[in-house]
Amino acid sequence: MGPLIRFVDVTKVYENNCTALRGINLSIEKGEFVFITGASGAGKSTLLKMIYGEEFPTSGRVIVDSWDVSKIPRKKLPYLRRSIGVVFQDFKLLPDRTVFENVAFALRVTDASRLAIRRRVPAVLELCGIKDKSNCRPDELSGGEQQRVSLARALVNNPILLVADEPTGNLDPDTARGIFALLEDVNDMGTTVIVATHAQAMVDHMRKRVVTLRDGILQGDEARGIYRA
């Protein structure tokens, strides 16, 4: 079996002729924990978006599991996304729904049964440490709690892969530590985790694989690396 994710000579030029990524070659194995680091505008988000099909390469190929994301038909895209959990810096929670509903939402779109929803949602809320907030609305929660809800939503479908784009960008260092610990737990349970981040202290502390981007070019890839901008 090959790697879970493969970038083959990937270049992305946006419509305004701004080049986000240039000739990226990258392999990520199943079960890995990978940090993507680099200054703002280095292409971290673009790289992540290509994994779950929000952006597509201008040239080159992106392979995720058995999917060729660079050529995926629109109709199949939802099914790729169901096997990938995504976490955002701004959480992207629905403000007018409870925590439970926000998480159940991701299951509902997969046509899950009521029973499956009733079983799976509390379990994943418990895992993320917010089971007691089940009936709260997002604006009643702290930033850290909101990010845990967003993590719960990403995990509820049992994804093979978790992608997090600056998950602690809006959080204080203490809260961020909690989120990273949770990401590590998820990784320990077998899910591949890819995190784009600026949190230098955490990257240096955790000593995971670090992929560094600069101006859209792959600058470094270390097995037990430290943060480099």
Partner 1 sequence: MRSSTWAYMAGEALASLRRNRFMTIASITTVMLCLLVLGAVYTFTCNVAKLAEVAEAQVEIRAYLSPKVDEKALRAIQEQLKQIPGIQSFEYISKEKALERMKQQFGDKEGLLDGIDKINPLPASFEIKVAEPSMLSGVAETVKALSGIDEVDYQKELVDKLLLVTRTMRFGSVLVVVGLGVVTIFLIANTIRLTVYARRKEIAIMKLVGATDSLVRIPLVLEGVLLGVVGGIAAGLINNVVYAYVFKTVSSSMPFIPLVLPQAVNGKVLAITAGAGIVIGMVGSVVSMRRFLRI
Gap between the Cα atoms of 151 and 183, Å rounded? 9
Q: What tokens does 102 get?
A: 């926000």
| Smallest distance from partner 1 to CB 99, Å | 15
| Smallest distance from partner 1 to CB 134, Å | 18
| Smallest distance from partner 1 to CB 44, Å | 17
Gap between the Cα atoms of 223 and 5, Å rounded? 16
Gap between the Cα atoms of 111 and 100, Å rounded? 17
| Smallest distance from partner 1 to CB 88, Å | 9
| Smallest distance from partner 1 to CB 90, Å | 10
Contact (CB, 8 A) for 125 and 151: no
- Residue 81 identity (one-letter amino acid): R
> Which is nearer to partner 1, 152 or 218 (by Cβ)?
152
> Which is nearer to partner 1, 111 or 174 (by Cβ)?
111
Write 21-24 long-range contacts (CB < 8 A, 24+): 21/46, 21/47, 21/57, 21/213, 21/216, 22/215, 22/216, 22/217, 23/60, 23/217, 23/218, 24/60, 24/217, 24/218
> Which is nearer to partner 1, 109 or 201 (by Cβ)?
109
| Smallest distance from partner 1 to CB 201, Å | 29
Footprint on this chain of partner 1 (rule: CB under 8 A): 52, 54, 74-75, 78-82, 86, 92, 94, 96, 105-106, 108-111, 113-114, 153, 157
Phi, psi (5° rounding) for residue 217?
A: -115, 140
